[in-house]
Structure 1
Amino acid sequence: GEQQRASPCRTRSDCQHVGLNRHVCAINDVTKEKICKEVDCTRHDHCTNGEDGAEIQKCFENKCTKTECRLREHCKEQEICSKNKCVAVDCTLHSHCDQSDGPKRCSATVCEPVGCVGKSDCKPNQLCVENECVTHECLGHLTCEVDFPERCKDGICKCVGRECKKQECTKHSHCDDGGLCDNNPLKYPSFTCYNEVDGVKTCRNHTQCGPKAKCQDKRCVSVECRTNADCSDKKGENAWRCHDENTAKTDDEVNTCYAVDCNKHDQCPTKHACQDNACVPVTCRTNADCTGNFLCNKPDRSDPTQNFCKAVDCIGHKACLDHSNQDCKDGKCLCIENSCKTQTCVTSAHCKGKKERCHNNQCVEAECSSHDHCLTAFPDGNGFFKPAKCFPNCYTEKGRKYCLPKCEIVECRTLSDCDGKEICDKVKNECKKVDCRGHGHCKDKEICFKNVCKPVTCTTNYHCGKSEICENNDCKSVNCKGHDQCDEKARCINHECVPRECTKNDHCSKTAGSFQKCDKIDGKCIDIECIGHNACNTLKLNSFGDDCSEGHCLCLGNKCYKQTCRTNDHCGDMERCVGNTCESVDCTSHDHCDDKQVCKDNICIDVQCRDREHCQDKQICGGQEHNNTCIPVDCTSHEDCENFQGRVVKYSF
């Protein structure tokens, strides 16, 4: 067929316009026409960049040529890439600057002295702002009492707006008569004293509440008694005392009056016995009074004060788990007559075989121990297996029950063992015919209920009216079905239009320094660092401690992240900002190129001329419009026109 004609061009940009990025505009040797000719490269990014061990290359005369560097990252830490050579510089990071003779910052690869680079360069009451130490009265609450002992005695001051300001109180002891200080940092404290909460007097100790009252959760509450004197008006023959936390049997008995005499032990509290009609403390009265593996020993039942807790090997089988014997720690011991005795097994888990069972503390082989052991027990002759289950197979021998599980064939174990309109009765393991096994087996307005198709009003919202939803298969009227049925600042939640602070970012603040976005889950405006890259330019200090005021930061995920560069102005004279990294280029102006070269797309390319001196007599340099070629003219001076006989032509350049 006819060969496709090459794209004609005047300049290389014509080739780029038709999507031919790796082409230049060159003269066809045959047709002498200018056409787009494919080359190895026209830009550096057409060449390898040292990634994954590849060679570092640059595009030189439309060929990828090995070079030392293209990016600053190709050089060592204190080097930059200049004209594809790694050149040592004073610094590339602030940390490269020697701080021993004063703070310095790295400015355009040169360490320059500054007032400060961090708070450590300033005095204790100063902050480093824009590399200058700025003095404040305070930076935190704790320094106020030290620096201003008279004004801020006993910590009465708070650091507000970098000034030590005296408050009514900062702690409860600053308040009189049991008052409390509103100083909860989580609830916007006012640092003022208050003496009542919901009409109830506040307190910090019992004495501030008066008789028959106590301080509980910093509130005065009425009680029957707080001291023994509060029980002096009790009637009866007995003497009365006030229960405290040590004498009360229950929480309810605390702060109640009680009689001190007794007639039997069970009238006394735990670990007390009734002796001479008085409850006296004893080490133990019952086994429950002893902890761990101890029993209550009673050498003299007439004198319970001699009772003591006696150590035994175990009390119950579980106690053997803490025995020093490793078999007991593994659960292979039983507590027999308060002594741990080792057994072959206590549970089937102690048996080594997967199908062994523990019977009468001995391991006995069984056919199966789970249903999965029966999956391949009975082949069906077609390459598959019949459904089977593991049954207990229990029997009684010498008055004891034993079980040796075995596999038995059943009709089904799962739905897959039955036909399409059958279910597996897992109790009987039989296939049972049903009307349906799911809603998909029923009609549009039916549901599968207990395997029977049951007519209902609706199964989806489409079966209901515009202001109705299908709930529990009935149409129910609601205020809304979607957000679009509510006002702009409201959302349809549980089918009710609920007002929100915002539903989109436009409802929130866009003021520089106080950017917000809408949390669409909570419907509230939340503070963020930025919206859009330019918003970062207003930040002297971002959340990572970087200065963004010189335009080096990008807004990513509403946070400002500092970059090497955002514009070419952030890079060196022969660098360009590519992907937020300063990349070395051949040139940024014609002055960076040789005499008969021009800078085009940051590459020096050969041309016929850059000015008239490069051309012959009666020629001028056509400039960029004529691809920097020499153009014949009638004259380059008045003398050339003295004997001219032809037509006058006016050129405009």
Structure 2
Amino acid sequence: MRHLTSPLALALLATAACSTGSSVVGGPSDGALPDVAVSDRPELDADATTLDAGLDVPVDVTPVDVTPDVTTDAPDVVPVDVPFRCATNADCAGNAGGAVCDTATGACVQCVPSADTCPVGQYCVAASNTCAPGCRSDEACASATDAGTSSRRCDTATRACVDCVTDEHCPPGNLCVGNLCVTGCSPTRACPSAQTCCSGACVDTQSNTAACGACDRRCTVPNAASACLNGSCAVGTCTAPFADCNATAGDGCEANTQSDLAHCGACNAACPTRANATSTCAAGACGFACNAGFENCDGDASNGCEVDTRSSVSHCGRCGGACSLANAVAACTAGACGIAACTAGFGDCDGNAPNGCETDTRTSVSHCGACGTACAGAPNAVPACATGMCALTCTAGFAECDGSAANGCEVDTRTSATHCGGCGRTCNLANASARCSGSVCAVATCTTGYGDCDGNAANGCEVDTRASTAHCGACGTACSFANASASCAASACVLGACNTGYGNCDGTASNGCEVDTRTTVTHCGACGRTCSLPNATAACAAGGCTVAACNTGYADCDGVASNGCEVDTRTSDSNCGVCARACTGGTACAAGACGAMASCAAIHTRFPALASGVYSVDPDGVGTGAAAFDAYCDMTTDGGGWTLVGTVYNTSPTDTRRWNTDTVFTDATTFGTLAARSTDDFKSPAYARVNGRDLLVVTDEYHFGFRSMMSGGASFAAYVASLVSPTCATTWTRSGADFGSSNLTTTQRRGLGFTVRGLDVNGGGPTDGCATTGSNENSFLNFASGPSWWVFGAGNCVGCAGDWTSYDNGMLNLATLSFAACTPGTWPCNANGLYWTSAVYPSSAASKTRYVQLLVR
């Protein structure tokens, strides 16, 4: 059957160039072009090839793929494809034919002349609705350098760019002759040399197409813009899709490369001849149409229409229309399937070829051995056919037991006790009297104490109901106790031993051994043994108590059932949230998640074996308040657990000091890096966030500290803020360190102390209110003071007097840390009756430690 398809569409695209000179059109042959099978069948694939029409610019052929139709239809069904018709341009989006709808034909095309959408330099060819090289308006004649203002004009008759088409296109006083602007002439106004006055215009008869060779000899060349060469008419530029293939000016551009079989797509590109087909040229692409009775079924253009569908069994009537008939060798005649021969044992008894040889003559009673040979019947029998021979088949319930065909099937085997269900089959049953019913030997009555419990007459009354546990006392009365053995004695059931893993825990025989002691929690392993496990829901498995499920927040991490769910995963550092998930790096388990602890002291208490180093701390608690941060923890000094809150560092005199105002010692700002805590100024978030009671002061040479100094516990920033007053301090908050490094003497330890903004007695004292500017030489945090004016410690103010203020840190080094006796309680003497004294001038860099680090616990 043939399929209706849309014709193949190929788009011919080219770019035209306008020229004032003339040229002869027509190039050498590009050789034979591949062709496309044009058929009313869609099984072919058309490959488009770029063609050279011999023009000044290339001509492109848009490839169009035609997908083969591989659907196999029944021979008597004729499928019809409904042709596609577009209504608007939107219907043509993505269509291979083009994006414009030709509403007159309903086809998707490249363009329509009424609304020419071809690119600049092309126009819409009405005959094919394709874009071709050539101008459609003056716009196409403007070059890029003209910026759209060129004076070139489009001659829509030849589609060529020219100097003029009408006189209005020429400057005043000039005329348009042969598409050229020329000057006028008269009897009193002669033409320049080499020009002739023709009808009032000066023309060059050697090149002007309106007067070629002589006045009024106009060059007209079919399908082309004409040219005049040395006074003779010639082809200028062919109008696409035409080409001058014979190089003869007289017939112009005579070849239509869209449809000419000898010049399809380009001059001399002849379409090849294909077997059993007629060659075609459409839209500049070669194709072919199959002759009647032939088809191109393999999709290969090179062998043309290779299949004779009138006789091909594989393609009978159409491609893919294979002849396949039941029980027959098929043939194809005049494009229709038929039967060549029947398979042995079959016949075409209805004469209908489509169903093949439909009759099995080996078994057909109406056609036994051959079509039309019918078999006759007999009493209690029906005719039959076996291997092509007639025979009898007894009616159900009858048999031919005497060997005589004349009386047919004479025995009723449904009731005969001597031929029960078949000739010679006598009923004789154990422990019973027999009968025949429905062709089956049956028990009439059983002997006392026996029963026909399987319903099988062949073994009679096979069961001794006095001792059978399956049929105790009567058929179907089985001795069965749950999960226990059973026996039958004197037609009565008796309970036996319980099966392994079960127990008769209620002492009642009727429900047998009702408890599964392998899985029952209240009778686990034995009756009365109840499972109860700590922090868990208990289960019983294989007779042993196990954990079924742990209570929320607990887990069975040791796999030992007897202690239940022994781990609280909400708080276990080694099994946090789940078993074997250990908290590391100083983190602790809270609510089942590892998180940072509040301070180094908390980490040290929880993990006393951890070494000093950087750990994450979260004073507000995990998930609340500000985020956790890294802090340095001293885990050894005076029992460990110290959190570094800041470093005041001495550098060169040009150092930009950061510990330089009252505010920086009391607010939450931070600066520096933890990595440079011993080489630069550093203020940790811990300064204002970690609470503590003890203070540790560490220099590059020694350390000392005060226990329970911040009573009640507070951040160091809050503690310092509580000590700041408008005037300088004249008393020590603490006198004498509670502990110190081994290189400190007892006197040195007792001479040290702590206060905030201690009075510098010669720096203005209370008169400057301890301001951050002026002549005060105080440090902000004071750990020692001299008898005259020096107060030493951590931090200083910008612009304060004294050489040593060039340094961030005013803490004395070990060599200058010496103390003398004084009157206790008289400033600057501390409560231990000691103050600093040294021969080294304290403003010297040689008297200062490299840094002071402050740690709280």
Higher Rg: 2
**Structure showing greater relative contact order (alpha-carbon pairs closer than 8 Å, 6 or more residues apart):** 2
TM-score of the two chains, using structure 1 as the length reference:
0.20
TM-score of the two chains, using structure 2 as the length reference:
0.17
